Amino acid sequence: MSGLECKNISKSYKDNKVLDNVSLNIEQGKIYGLIGRNGVGKTTLMSIMTGQNPADSGEVTYNGQPVWENAEALSHICFSRELGMNNQKVKEYLRLASIYYKNWDKDMAEELVKRFGIDKKKKVCNLSKGMLSMLTVIIGLASKAEITILDEPAAGLDVIVREEFYKLIIDEQQENGRTFIISTHIIEEAANVFEEVIILKDKCVYLKENTVELLDKCRYVSGLEEDVKNAVDGCKIINEEHIGRSYAVTVMQDGDGKIKAVQHVTVQPVSLQNLFIAICGQSNM
């Protein structure tokens, strides 16, 4: 199977199991959003996917070839994240990146360094939070890797630079067919960028779906409890709330499970951020 594939990945740190039998296929040419609460295992999964961390069991492959200790497979993958303790100067860090990534685009790197105003003479560890994020973005984009994974790239960036970042990602995906996996907590403004969303919960993949299709079948339904339950009978209930005399549920319509027209019941669309809160705000759901 083409692309990046995780097969039954499990990982523990001492007695703490972080990932449990995770299987995931990343198709080429898409932009994925990887979201989940702090500590759910996002960074661990990304580091295993890129051969930086061994899994306890399972395997990751790129175009059918294992990525672990496989320089050829890894040459197609970039995992860019903040390295605040790095004592190298920015110019040296970029030089080493140009050696490591076989498709490195020096002109793009130089242009982005100028555009973002990064001082190449500074040590990486002395950069501000925003500049560290910008450097993360530059490495990811200029790597020209077929699969590029970015861990919290928008953290520390102001809203104007974040918009520019999202545009750069979309342009790269459309022009060069690259695959991006972006892990972020800034969900709402990134939702329109994600072609597919992956939600990690309870040590595994809770869902992986096309973002538009997912939001199209999810709704927030509110009213009196008996009326709401009649309206959503047969739907998958993701979360429920009691607010005074009112009752509200976030539901997913699927197959024959459709919301029924019931008087005095309000049905509203759900944003990706609110869906994430509904799914991950309840520890046992």
What tens digit of pLDDT does each residue of 155-184 get?
888 999 999 999 999 999 999 999 999 999
Among all chains, which residue has been given the structure tokens 């992956």? 198
pLDDT reported for residue 27: 93
pLDDT reported for residue 245: 83
Query: 150: exposed, middle or buried (C-beta count within 10 Å: 0-12, 13-18, 19+)?
Result: buried
Report yes or no: 278 and 252 within 8 Å, Cβ to Cβ.
no
Neighbours of 246 (CB within 10 A): 13
What is d(CA 96, CA 90) in angstroms, rounded to the nearest whole number?
10
pTM: 0.93
pLDDT reported for residue 282: 60
Q: 80 pairs with which residues across the strands?
A: 150
> 59: Cβ–Cβ under 8 A, 6 or more apart, which residues?
6, 7, 8, 9, 66, 68
List average pLDDT for each run of 10 residues in the chain, which is 285 residues long.
87 94 95 95 96 96 94 94 85 95 96 94 92 94 96 89 94 95 92 96 95 96 95 94 91 89 94 95 53
> 189: Cβ–Cβ under 8 A, 6 or more apart, which residues?
159, 162, 166
Residue type, 206: Y
Neighbours of 179 (CB within 10 A): 22
Query: 10: exposed, middle or buried (C-beta count within 10 Å: 0-12, 13-18, 19+)?
Result: middle
Report yes or no: 143 and 150 within 8 Å, Cβ to Cβ.
no
pLDDT reported for residue 2: 65
Neighbours of 168 (CB within 10 A): 17
pLDDT reported for residue 1: 46
Three-state SS string over the chain comes to CCCEEEEEEEEEECCEEEEEEEEEEECCCCEEEEECCCCCCHHHHHHHHCCCCCCCEEEEEECCEECCCCHHHHCCEEEECCCCCCCCEHHHHHHHHHHHCCCCCHHHHHHHHHHHCCCCCCEHHHCCHHHHHHHHHHHHHHCCCCEEEEECCCCCCCHHHHHHHHHHHHHHHHHHCCEEEEECCCHHHHCCCCCEEEEEECCEEEEEEEHHHHHHCEEEEEECHHHHHHHCCCCEEEEEEEECCEEEEEEECECCECCCCCCCCEEEECCHHHHHHHHHCCCCC
- In tens, the pLDDT along 50-94 reads 999 999 999 999 999 999 999 999 999 999 988 767 899 999 999
